Amino acid sequence: MSNYQERANEILARIDELAKITEEPGIVTRTYGSDAFIEAREKVESWMRTAGLETRTDNIGNVRGRLPGKNPIAKTFIIASHLDSVVNAGKFDGPLGVIMGLDLLENLAENKIQLPFNIELIAFCDEEGVRFHSTYLGSKAIAGSFETSLLDKADKDGVTLKEVIQKLGGNENRLSDDALKEDLLGYFEIHIEQGPVLYDANIPVALVSAIAGQQRIELVFTGVAGHAGTVPMGKRHDALCCAAECISGIEEFAIDHKTNIVATVGKLEIVDAASNVIPGKVKCSLDIRSADEVRLSFACNALKKIITEICTNRNIACTWNIIQETDPVACDPNLNNTLHQSIKNAGYEVVELVSGAGHDAVPLSAICPVSMIFVRCYKGISHSPLEDVEITDITAAVKVADNFILNLASNYNQ
Ligand code: HGY
Ligand code: MN
Ligand code: MN
């Protein structure tokens, strides 16, 4: 068995170990600040320490491990992904990038390879944004773009972000201390594709050329609650029927423009729901994405118009609260040239993909050049317990990533 295969087996074993650390036995749910998140973070930090990295957890809750290069004042290269998950998640979305990054550094340390630059491995604490419906909390903190207005945002149980930071041992007034201020060589993230292209093409890895922009919106529909038995149909202002018509209108619009946008309503809440009450208030999420900035803003404006028209016809009030918006991000051409070469050196066909999913590379792109590779996953399934990755594809990704780091080192001339 080759060294790459052995390392891939160890990576998969650690991913399996992390998958057992969950808020709900039998499924993978590990949201920001939960006890399961804290346990997983401690596990990763212990692996980092065993690998000989200098470790620390920062105020927002990321765990960071550093492998100094030959020249400590040289630039620093960031390798990262996230430790948190969605609800009933797969076990690879996030942990694959963290554990593969750990493997890369472990291999360098074990073989006493001193690079001409420093490497910092980061396990981000909240990429998904499940708890506070605002994503990239960990990566925004280190990119210096964390919005302090979020500190008082409460989760569904009324616990504020500030309280979670304190529970994690952080100081919400010192978040800016953790922003990366040093000279950065770039950022690299290994992530499952979460789409079907590599699976259908039977190719193990892809180069990521860009990451789609997204808008996350909360829609609140306010009608008139009433008795299900006594209010005639013609006299109702049913917030749920209005939301339902809007949701179909959103789908219809996105299908018509399928070439460049996707739109999803993933959360729907009937406030004070009861089977014998006409819904007076309904909240839902709206997630709109496109790799093309102009199309994204066109789609947001067009959908807002469609929703406003439906609500006016039904005499229902609607608020459109933008929770988060990020522009599309282009990955760095120079890093991608080196990645392109590394994929070829490893003996694989080079495929370039745009990422429809968001990644922590997005906030980091504001402070350094970013790069990503995708690893094939089973039928492109993700955000699902069916998420799976073949050991042969992990082996391929180890080979590519090793080549990439060594090629970066040989090209390094700062
Ligand atoms: O939603 C996303 O794009 C990512 O999985 N957080
Ligand atoms: Mn992810
Ligand atoms: Mn995800």
Probe target for ligand 1 pocket from 82, 86, 323, with the most ligand atoms within 8 Å of CB: 86
Distance 375 CA to ligand 1 centre (A): 16
Q: Which ligand is nearest to the CA of 82?
A: 2
What pLDDT does 208 receive? 98
Among the bound ligands, the one closest to the CA of 384: 3
Q: What would the mean pLDDT of 295-306 be, rounded to a whole number?
A: 96
Tokens representing 404? Answer: 């990439």
Question: Under a CB-based contact definition with an 8 Å cutoff, are residues 344 and 350 in contact?
Answer: yes
- Distance from the alpha carbon of residue 128 to the mean position of ligand 1, in angstroms: 6
127 CA: nearest ligand 1 atom: 6
Q: Which amino acid type is present at position 102?
A: L
Q: Indicate if the pLDDT at residue 87 is higher than 60.
A: yes
**Distance set, CA 121 to CA 77, 189, 210, 228, 241 (Å):** 9, 10, 22, 56, 48
Residue nearest to atom 4 of ligand 1 (CA): 358
Q: Please say if the pLDDT value at position 400 is more than 90.
A: yes
Mean pLDDT computed over every residue of the chain:
96
Q: Given a cut of 60, is residue 77 above it in pLDDT?
A: yes
Dihedral over Cα of 93, 138, 13, 27: its sign: negative
**Contact indicator for 371, 77 with CB cutoff of 8 Å:** no
Query: Percentage of residues in the chain with pLDDT exceeding 90?
Result: 96
Q: What is the pLDDT of residues 384-397, one digit of tens each?
A: 999 999 999 999 99
Tell me, what's the pLDDT at 1?
Answer: 63
> Mean per-residue pLDDT for 226-233?
98
Ligand 1 centre from 410 Cα, in Å? 34
- Ligand having the closest approach to the CA of 133: 1
Q: Residue 137 and residue 123: Cα distance in Å, rounded?
A: 12
Ligand 1 binding site (Cβ under 6 Å of any ligand atom): 127-128, 135, 357-358
Dist. CA 360 → ligand 2 center (Å): 8
Instruction: State the average pLDDT over residues 322-340.
Output: 95
Confidence (pLDDT) at 413: 76
pLDDT at residue 26 in the model: 95
Average pLDDT for 98-127: 97
Q: Reduce the DSSP state of residue 257 to 3 states and report it.
A: coil
Residue pointed to by tokens 């800016």: 176
Position in ligand 1 atom list of the atom nearest CA 128? 6
How far is Cα 55 from Cα 101, in angstroms, rounded to an integer?
14
Q: What is the mean pLDDT of residues 235-256?
A: 97
pLDDT-based confidence at 134, cuts 50/70/90? confident
Give the least confident one: 229-238, 255-264, 347-356, 402-411.
Answer: 255-264
Gap from CA of 174 to ligand 2 centroid (Å): 26
* pLDDT value of position 339: 98
pLDDT in tens, 201-214: 999 999 999 999 99
Q: Is the pLDDT of residue 414 over 60?
A: no
Which atom of ligand 1 is nearest the CA belonging to 383? Answer: 5
Closest atom of ligand 1 relative to the 287 alpha carbon:
1
Hey, how many other C-beta atoms are within 10 angstroms of the C-beta on 53?
A: 22
Interval 334-347: pLDDT, tens: 999 999 999 999 99
Q: How far is the CA of 340 from the centre of ligand 2 (A)?
A: 22
Determine the pLDDT at residue 187.
98
Going from the N-terminus, what domains does the chain have, and what CATH number goes with each? Answer: 4-211+328-410 (3.40.630.10), 213-326 (3.30.70.360)
Residues with CB under 5 A from ligand 3 (ion): 93
Count of other CB atoms within 10 angstroms of residue 154: 13
- How confident is the model over 35-76, as pLDDT tens digits? 999 999 999 999 999 999 999 999 999 999 999 999 988 999
Query: Which atom of ligand 1 is found nearest the CA of 129?
Result: 6
